[in-house]
Amino acid sequence: MLKQTATQLELSQHTTASGSALFAILADPRRHPEIDGSSMLVAAPDSQLIVGVGDVFTMNMHIPEIGDYQTENHVVEFEPDRRIAWMTAGVGRPPSGQYWAWQIEPLELGGSNLIHTYDWSRVTNPKMLERVSFPRVPAADLQKTMDRLISAASLEQ
């Protein structure tokens, strides 16, 4: 299910995949290009498993109109098997205000409810707001990411 506001996209979906299998993939930045539905993520150079708030992981990115670039992703929420969120930044810069979160809710009869949130309400840089059209990643691409995550997690159970 998709919920959309002027500054946020939120997708939710039930899956038979376990919270631990889903979270294991999300906490490993090296796996993010594998599940990325936007085709923007290239690799996570030198990234380690995310173990808590304050961790920063780097992603090599590519967008045809911009070319290759890197982002630093600052982990702002972390609850094993339940929730992980980060804010994106340019290398060596503070986060721009783009927030990415995954919430995993266990279901009584097994499986999980997976919620993916992309929020850009904290983006305040006038230059960024002028040159970037939001949402930067459309809902259809977020859904592809969710589907790929669920598929990968289901194979690993």
**Confidence band (pLDDT; 50, 70, 90) for 154?**
very high
**Confidence band (pLDDT; 50, 70, 90) for 131?**
confident
For position 137, what pLDDT does the model report? 94
pLDDT beyond 80 at 40: yes
Mean residue pLDDT of the chain comes to: 95
**Confidence band (pLDDT; 50, 70, 90) for 113?**
very high
**Cβ neighbours around 18 below 10 Å, total:** 19
For position 130, what pLDDT does the model report? 87
3-class state of residue 4 by DSSP: strand
Domain range enclosing 72: 2-155
Give the integer Cα–Cα distance in Å for 71 and 117. 19
Q: Which residue has the higher pLDDT, 118 or 45?
A: 118
For position 66, what pLDDT does the model report? 85
Indicate the pTM of the whole model.
Answer: 0.94
Can you list the positions of beta strands (E) in 8-157?
8-15, 41-43, 56-63, 67-79, 83-90, 95-106, 112-119
Amino acid at site 64: P
| Tokens 């309400």, located at residue | 121
Helix or strand holding residue 3 (H, E): strand 2-4
Sign of torsion, CA 157 141 30 26? negative
**Confidence band (pLDDT; 50, 70, 90) for 127?**
confident
74-100 per-position pLDDT tens digit? 999 999 999 999 999 999 999 999 999
Number of domains forming the structure of the chain = 1
CATH no. for residue 86? 3.30.530.20
